[in-house]
Structure 1
């Protein structure tokens, strides 16, 4: 079976699909990822093969530009609106427009590859249109909490139904199957249930540090704000977090941040930091008492997989629904808005509570059990083979 992976052109949209891709390859199937040229190195770093579609604008760089327009020191939460129904409807214009632009080249490449199955993420619309044109089943693979439902789909159909009709279809096709790595009780209420799959962390590769093989002697706090915290304006948000941690008692800190955050930025907690390199979170997350992050689903699911309570300072887009579900399930807390996020004492109190009270840990353990009870990606391969008719 030949499987084509088509995602929105950002690394975080491919990462959740990597474990399923490995499972398909392990079963003897051929898997390739369609991607813009600038993401080919990332695709290769996951152990997958790529079909380059040419040069496209880097989506993270585009987001960086929007944030910088709000001011030199603006945080994403200051620069971008809190998502509502209209926000998610407007978000669809980007993927829909990109689909219309890349379709000719994508169709050419796909015909040459001749896939039996297409796997895409919820924000990718090109894979769905491609599947309809080629008569190939399409599987949607969610990345976590999925807010791309009513308003997003309405705009997607409004823009792409005419394109689909020009290609001989009745409209933008729906996927035949939705796969969901998010625990059912954590997913948005009322959302159509997908086929559960066990979440397997896909945070990259690294060497397990010696300290991660030993039980910590004091509470360990992880701080992680995505792959581009400095570029996306989170430097001052991190500063508030560091100040709050500095006020805590005897704790140790893992800064899972990429290169580019200067040492002086976290000098206030220098005596507590045991690591400040960009380590894959799954290498050490089980040893942490709490993680502070921005609300990314990959970070959050990795923490749930390790039953680690979370404190989230949401910045934009799906960070907010993640934070709300976190608090609703009791697995952590969140701090919304710049006024509260810069209240160092407030963050300190929340960290103390998450570290020392058992409720968040117990809720996290329950969600971990949900994750571990779901079928592995390998267990879904026979169903995908049947869907593709091979």
Structure 2
């Protein structure tokens, strides 16, 4: 398995890695140092290759002043979504020699890579090994990005004797079909199993009777990208909703900047969401694929506040199915009344919970990672 050097890009592959290991197969994760702690936390074997990347630092170059991504980076049109893969095309040029040497030593029979990892396609073509791409969730961009990568990396492929960038043999898709972006190429379904890191069941995981519990989770990347003031506003707005308790995840490095929180808000260290979502009534988040699909698995309505890239598509699809509400512009995200009204609507209208539960049942009916692992072993 290979991945771009972003831990959240690798997380969707973990359940399939577990299933392959449980079936007796050898699984080796080849990744840059940024991802190695996540691989280890999942109990998998890794080879660290290349130099640290620091994806947050890369995105910061696009921001100005104290603006968050939504305020500084234009929203891409569908035909522009290939830009999401541009940095990983350059990444392929840097790490290909080392990845190829590792593959020739390990001699894999199958390579599985996350959807924006193009080095794997070159390695697979040179080693004569099939390569699968694994999506994260709602996918509005990777098909366009793959097309662009074929043009961008044609010279690199030719240098190594390949007739163009090889295509993945298939695409594994953990997104429920009804939720998936309409233009996404059909993929092989694989049930999403939450992997939000390892942790301990928190002592507060049970909600109080009669109190509606809401989770606010933006992830480290959003907070690091000038998102702390945004989190502060969202927490204050949520706390104005009646009969509510807010659980907000926040890394220790941002606690002081967030400052005091309203009495009905509990600020906690990052905790695997799947450990306590069964006690919750709704989730507020940025549209990250892992958070969105974890909330979907739990059957919870979602308030999505996208900041950039494919997060807009995630919010739009959840809203289209009635399982969520998406506020996708600065004005609505910064308005306390709009935020509070949207959250109250999600909590009080039964149709939102019903739609979320229907989507959860659809997800539960998808082939398990174990079934997909057995099928891959038969076919490859």
TM-score range, shorter chain: over 0.9
SS for the counterpart of 2:129 is coil
CA deviation vs aligned residue, 1:309-368 (integer Å, no higher than 9, x gap): 100110011111101111111101011121111111011111111111111101100100
Distance of 1:210 and 1:274 partners within structure 2: 13
Task: Show the 5 A alignment for 1:249-264.
Answer: 249-262=242-255
Distance of 1:17 and 1:338 partners within structure 2: 33
Residue range with higher mean Cα deviation, 372-381 or 153-162:
153-162
Partner of 1:161: 154
Partner of 2:362: 370
129, 134, 142: which one pairs with 2:135? Answer: 142
Partner of 1:327: 319
SS for the counterpart of 1:204 is coil
114, 117, 122: which one pairs with 2:115? Answer: 122
SS for the counterpart of 2:132 is strand
Shift of 1:39: 2.7
CA deviation vs aligned residue, 1:119-153 (integer Å, no higher than 9, x gap): 01111111111111100011111110112245312
Q: Name stretches of at least 5 consecutive residues in structure 1 with no aligned partner.
A: none
SS for the counterpart of 2:354 is helix
Partner of 2:47: 51
SS for the counterpart of 1:38 is coil
SS for the counterpart of 1:9 is coil
Query: Any conservation in 2 of the 1:256–1:281 contact (CA below 8 Å)?
Result: no
84, 88, 91: which one pairs with 2:81? Answer: 88
Shift of 1:215: 6.4
269, 279, 296: which one pairs with 1:277? Answer: 269
Q: TM-score, normalised by structure 2?
A: 0.95
5, 20, 24: which one pairs with 1:28? Answer: 24
SS for the counterpart of 1:132 is helix
Distance of 1:210 and 1:149 partners within structure 2: 40
Partner of 2:282: 290
Distance of 2:90 and 2:265 partners within structure 1: 45
Distance of 1:381 and 1:39 partners within structure 2: 23
Partner of 1:193: 186
Distance of 2:90 and 2:121 partners within structure 1: 14
Q: Name stretches of at least 5 consecutive residues in structure 2 with no aligned partner.
A: none
How many residues end up aligned between the 2 structures? Answer: 380
Shift of 1:266: 5.6
Distance of 1:83 and 1:319 partners within structure 2: 11
Query: Any conservation in 1 of the 2:196–2:273 contact (CA below 8 Å)?
Result: yes
SS for the counterpart of 1:154 is helix
CA deviation vs aligned residue, 1:203-235 (integer Å, no higher than 9, x gap): 011111233246643100100001234311111
Partner of 1:19: 15
Query: Any conservation in 1 of the 2:143–2:184 contact (CA below 8 Å)?
Result: no
Query: Any conservation in 2 of the 1:295–1:319 contact (CA below 8 Å)?
Result: yes
Shift of 1:268: 4.1
Query: Any conservation in 2 of the 1:10–1:60 contact (CA below 8 Å)?
Result: no
Distance of 1:337 and 1:234 partners within structure 2: 15
Answer yes or no: is 1:350 the counterpart of 2:342.
yes
Partner of 1:310: 302
